[in-house]
Amino acid sequence: MNASVTILWPKVVPPEIEEIRFSYDFCRRLSKQLCEDACQTCSWVEYTHDPPLEAVLSRVDSDMVLIVTEPEIVLSPSAVKNLAACAENGYAACGPVYNQTVFSDQAAPLPVPYLDVNTFLELANSLGKNENRNFLAANFLDPACVLYRTDLLRRISSRLLLSEIPLFITEMKGIKTAVSKGALVHFGFKKDFEAGRDDLVGLVPDDVKRVLDIGCAMGGYGKTLKLLRPEIFMVGIELNLAMADVAERYYDEVVKCPVEKISLTGNFDLVNCGDILEHLKDPWDMLIRLNGRLKHRGYLVMSVPNAGHWSIVKGLLKGDFQYIPLGLLCVTHLRWFTENSIRQAITDAGFFVEIFKREQIPPTPLGLAFIRDMCNAGYGDEVSLRTNEFIVRAIKK
């Protein structure tokens, strides 16, 4: 990349959700570090609110401007280079591809998902090489992250707000815009709190009438289950008030308090714990308490991340353990489980395991090679290394 690039980054007050507060800072720090380490011609400018173009252009002295409007963006060095190459090929505005977006032209053609920073960078670098100079003409770009030629921005009205630029550009004649298919950018963690959890909903037996959902977040599980089984009475427990307010739309009752302090009367047919135990100081005691909230032969449905997944093991062997906003290495995880330890915890709490599933997201090419090497050397169990999460249904003894 020969051209210089200024990255405009939004300084936004995060919602009162611990993981998202961490995410805003994490995405900014990581993007800045990756881009500055890999590209000496990149500069960094932060802005607040939605300023007019003139307010930020006065701080720009580069050939191109990459305007980021969403705080949960992670830029990869290969993405910045591919976007710059797109502009150098005559396009006035260029957009990347994302892990998630409503713009179909900008959906990343990922061969496998990524789970942490290292696997994100592995796939970003691979995509950057395979899709190098593959530019797809597009009429409109996702405004979350767009690279513009600076000479174009200086030709349009300086009073335009940053948020108004994408639409204004589409109405200009003779302006070419494109998607760089080799520029991978990560977008968003917050939406994970809205997940419908079809995997857990699918484990609710037909005879269940009362459900207690521990850590219901924004109510995605309750929303999905209520659509399928509107007759079920659902109580959610959620510590975060902002998320609990959203969840109230889908539950019959939402108790706003830490799960450790719940005091509920009446028994439930099923307790749901979707990725909860690993966030608790004493998950073993909590399992015993939840057993007491269940009717005779009531169900415990849960999901728990696997601490023996290859991405964690590989990082530890290299002295690398980097927390991320959500996922296997979520910043709010306090406890870690493998298959043996979670089975033991469930049994000790007075349950017997009826269904035990191992979710196995396909590994990246480097991950596949690591799994093979570990198993061939006699140091690894392939099933454990491939498993990223356990999905369990247990029955009260």
Question: Could you read off the pLDDT of 320-336 as tens digits, one per residue?
Answer: 999 999 999 999 999 99
Nearest to 103 by CA among 181, 35, 169, 28: 181
Q: Where are the domains of the chain?
A: 5-188, 192-396
Nearest to 169 by CA among 91, 98, 249: 91
Query: Residues 231, 233, 235, CA angle at the centre, nearest 5°?
Result: 150
Bridge partners, 303 (sequence order): 274, 391
Q: Give Cα separations from 360 to 58, 218, 220 (angstroms).
A: 50, 25, 22
Identical fold at 5-188 and 192-396?
no
Rounded CA Rg of the chain = 24
Structure tokens at 197: 């959890």
Q: What is the C-alpha end-to-end distance of the chain, expressed in Å?
A: 64
Nearest to 393 by CA among 158, 199, 132, 138: 199
pLDDT at 171: 83
Residue type for position 294: L
Residue identified by tokens 């789970």 is 115
Structure tokens at 36: 């500055």
Percent of the chain whose pLDDT exceeds 90: 86
Q: What is the pTM of this model?
A: 0.92
Is residue 308 within 8 A of residue 370, CB to CB? The reply is no
| Helix or strand (DSSP H, E) at 150 | helix 150-155
pLDDT at 87: 94
Structure tokens at 379: 């140091």
Q: What are phi and psi of 100, to 5 degrees?
A: -150, 130
Under-50 pLDDT residues of the chain: none
Q: Which residues contact 285 (CB under 8 A, 6 or more apart)?
A: none
CATH code for the domain defined by 5-188: 3.90.550.10
CATH code for the domain defined by 192-396: 3.40.50.150
Q: Strands across the sheet with 389-396, in order?
A: 253-255, 233-237, 210-214, 268-274, 294-305, 389-396, 351-359
Q: Which residues contact 173 (CB under 8 A, 6 or more apart)?
A: none
Query: Residues 80, 52, 148, CA angle at the centre, nearest 5°?
Result: 25
Residue identified by tokens 């290859």 is 310
pLDDT at 1: 57
Residue type for position 265: T
Coil vs helix vs strand at 294: strand
Structure tokens at 110: 């990922």
**Pairwise CA distance, residues 182 & 132, whole Å:** 6
pLDDT at 261: 86
pLDDT at 301: 98
**Pairwise CA distance, residues 335 & 101, whole Å:** 32
**Pairwise CA distance, residues 285 & 263, whole Å:** 15
Q: What is the DSSP string of 106-142?
A: GB---SS---SHHHHHHHHHHHHHHTTT-EEE-SS--
